[in-house]
């Protein structure tokens, strides 16, 4: 009797081992099938086009140690060796350089949609509230909406005409500054730069910020923050070249950009809330006062709030993050350059 029970137990153990073996075999068989199927499907895809030629760099660092101060001269020399289009690596990033006007024309005009998207560096991502501006938003419905808002509410002739007096005031201030310093040395480069920044700020706010906000805009520290964030956006960052090291923030650029962006964010929130309160008060039966108020506040903030108010489902409605990104001073540098040509 004991022998029968013992044999029965051994049989159950053997059956359990057999079941585990069959299950593992089935699982590996299914995995092998899908792996082979995926490999076969991948092999049917056309191979990616080859990258253009270019100089070899060092492992990990790429061509970064060999970059010279005069990049335009160095790129011209490399173009004579590798042709009008070549590549090189900066850390883990691959860079393509075009030196031919015909190729550049084809890229920005004929193949604009293909090359419309941009790789955002850390400073741009932070200062544009997640890349929500017209320059760095990926091509698609969001970009088309921003472009439409920018063209209709920011850069059309009626808006530029309404802001002309504000820009002229800033230019007159600069001329007066020069006139008062006849016979003294003047840094024209710095003067022109600050005139551009002041014009941008006046176009944003219209010179009609309330109380503390107006004092803050006129504060030299705020204007220095504008210049600093413009500098940080274009400053080379190790974290952009080596994304794996971004958590270290070796140069402190991410921390400083966040600090400066918070300065603008707090001011935007305060000014937007102040302007919305005025618009709500004007809606309480004082239509005539509202029209007069809008005439006085001909600035980008008013135009953008008008496009946002009551148009949540329209083609020109924008989010608050997009509105703030458009209001960023360096984003309006594009507008300033066109305004100078316009006048």
Output DSSP code: residue 58: B
Q: What is the pLDDT of residue 295?
A: 46
Output DSSP code: residue 242: -
Q: Which CATH superfamily is domain 141-342 in?
A: Cytochrome P450 (1.10.630.10)
- Quote the CA–CA distance of 143 and 134 in Å, as a whole number: 6
- Quote the CA–CA distance of 263 and 132 in Å, as a whole number: 18
Q: Is the predicted pLDDT of residue 168 greater than 80, yes or no? A: yes
Q: How confident is the model at residue 339 (pLDDT cuts 50, 70, 90)?
A: very low
- Quote the CA–CA distance of 333 and 45 in Å, as a whole number: 44
Specify the higher pLDDT residue, 18 or 246: 246
Say how many C-beta atoms besides its own lie within 10 A of residue 338's C-beta: 13
Average pLDDT for 187-206: 78
- Quote the CA–CA distance of 207 and 223 in Å, as a whole number: 14
β-bridge partners, 340: none
Average pLDDT for 255-266: 89
Q: Is the predicted pLDDT of residue 17 greater than 90, yes or no? A: no
β-bridge partners, 98: 85
Specify the 3-state DSSP secondary structure of 99: coil
Nearest to 294 by CA among 303, 285, 286: 303
- Quote the CA–CA distance of 75 and 139 in Å, as a whole number: 29
β-bridge partners, 62: 58, 90
Specify the higher pLDDT residue, 327 or 309: 327
Nearest to 210 by CA among 287, 297, 288: 297
**Residue 326 φ/ψ region, left for φ over 0, alpha for ψ in the -120 to 50 degree band, beta for the rest:** alpha
Average pLDDT for 246-268: 89
Q: Find all residues with CB under 8 Å of 129, minimum gap 6, and list them.
A: 261, 265, 321, 322, 324, 325
Task: State pLDDT tens for residues 87-106.
Answer: 999 988 899 999 999 998 99
3-state helix, strand, coil in the chain (%, to 5): 65, 5, 30
Average pLDDT for 190-215: 67
Block residue for tokens 């193949």: 111
- Quote the CA–CA distance of 189 and 195 in Å, as a whole number: 10
Q: Is the predicted pLDDT of residue 134 greater than 90, yes or no? A: no
Q: What is the pLDDT of residue 112?
A: 83
Q: Is the predicted pLDDT of residue 76 greater than 70, yes or no? A: yes
In 66-210, which residue ranges form alpha helices assigned H by DSSP? 71-82, 101-105, 122-127, 141-149, 157-179, 188-205
- Quote the CA–CA distance of 17 and 286 in Å, as a whole number: 86
β-bridge partners, 257: none
Task: State pLDDT tens for residues 23-33.
Answer: 666 676 666 66
Q: How confident is the model at residue 255 (pLDDT cuts 50, 70, 90)?
A: very high
Task: State pLDDT tens for residues 104-118.
Answer: 899 888 888 888 888
Specify the higher pLDDT residue, 148 or 97: 97
Q: How confident is the model at residue 294 (pLDDT cuts 50, 70, 90)?
A: very low
Specify the higher pLDDT residue, 300 or 41: 300
Domain ranges of the chain: 64-115, 141-342
Q: How confident is the model at residue 207 (pLDDT cuts 50, 70, 90)?
A: low
Specify the higher pLDDT residue, 127 or 118: 127
Q: What is the pLDDT of residue 259?
A: 92
Task: State pLDDT tens for residues 298-320.
Answer: 577 777 777 666 555 566 677 88
Q: What is the pLDDT of residue 79?
A: 94
Q: How confident is the model at residue 35 (pLDDT cuts 50, 70, 90)?
A: low
- Quote the CA–CA distance of 260 and 267 in Å, as a whole number: 11
Q: What is the pLDDT of residue 38?
A: 59
Q: Is the predicted pLDDT of residue 258 greater than 50, yes or no? A: yes
Block residue for tokens 């005025």: 278
- Quote the CA–CA distance of 54 and 56 in Å, as a whole number: 7
Instruction: Provide the residue count of the chain.
Output: 343
Q: Is the predicted pLDDT of residue 164 greater than 60, yes or no? A: yes
Q: What is the pLDDT of residue 32?
A: 66
């Amino acid at each position: 009797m004991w022998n029968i029970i013992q044999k029965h137990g051994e049989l159950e153990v053997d059956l359990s081992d057999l079941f585990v073996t069959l299950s593992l075999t089935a699982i590996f068989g299914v995995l092998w099938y899908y792996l082979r199927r995926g490999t076969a499907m991948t092999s049917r895809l056309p191979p990616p086009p080859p990258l253009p030629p270019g100089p070899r760099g060092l492992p990990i660092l790429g061509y970064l140690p060999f970059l010279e101060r005069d990049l335009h001269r160095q790129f011209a020399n490399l173009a004579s060796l590798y042709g009008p289009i070549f590549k090189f690596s900066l850390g883990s990033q691959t860079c393509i350089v075009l030196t031919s006007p015909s190729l550049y024309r084809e890229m920005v005009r004929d193949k604009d949609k293909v090359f419309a998207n941009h790789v955002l560096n850390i400073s741009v991502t932070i200062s544009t509230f997640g890349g929500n501006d017209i320059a760095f938003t990926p091509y698609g419905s969001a970009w088309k909406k921003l472009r439409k808002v920018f063209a209709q509410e920011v850069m059309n002739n009626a808006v530029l005409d309404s802001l002309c007096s504000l820009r002229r005031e800033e230019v007159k201030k600069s001329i007066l500054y020069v006139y008062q310093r006849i016979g003294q040395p003047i840094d024209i480069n710095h003067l022109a730069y600050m005139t551009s920044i002041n014009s941008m700020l006046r176009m944003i706010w219209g010179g009609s910020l309330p109380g503390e906000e107006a004092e803050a805009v006129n504060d030299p520290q705020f204007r220095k923050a504008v210049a600093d964030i413009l500098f940080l956006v274009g400053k080379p960052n190790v974290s952009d070249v080596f994304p794996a090291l971004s958590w270290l923030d070796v140069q402190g650029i991410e921390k400083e950009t966040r600090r400066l962006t918070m300065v603008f964010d707090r001011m935007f929130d305060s000014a937007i809330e102040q302007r919305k309160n005025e618009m709500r008060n004007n809606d309480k039966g004082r239509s005539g006062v509202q029209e007069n108020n809008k005439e006085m506040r001909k600035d980008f903030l008013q135009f953008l709030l008008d496009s946002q108010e009551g148009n949540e489902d329209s083609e020109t409605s924008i989010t608050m993050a997009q509105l703030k990104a458009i209001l960023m001073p360096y984003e309006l540098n594009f507008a300033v350059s066109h305004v100078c040509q316009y006048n």
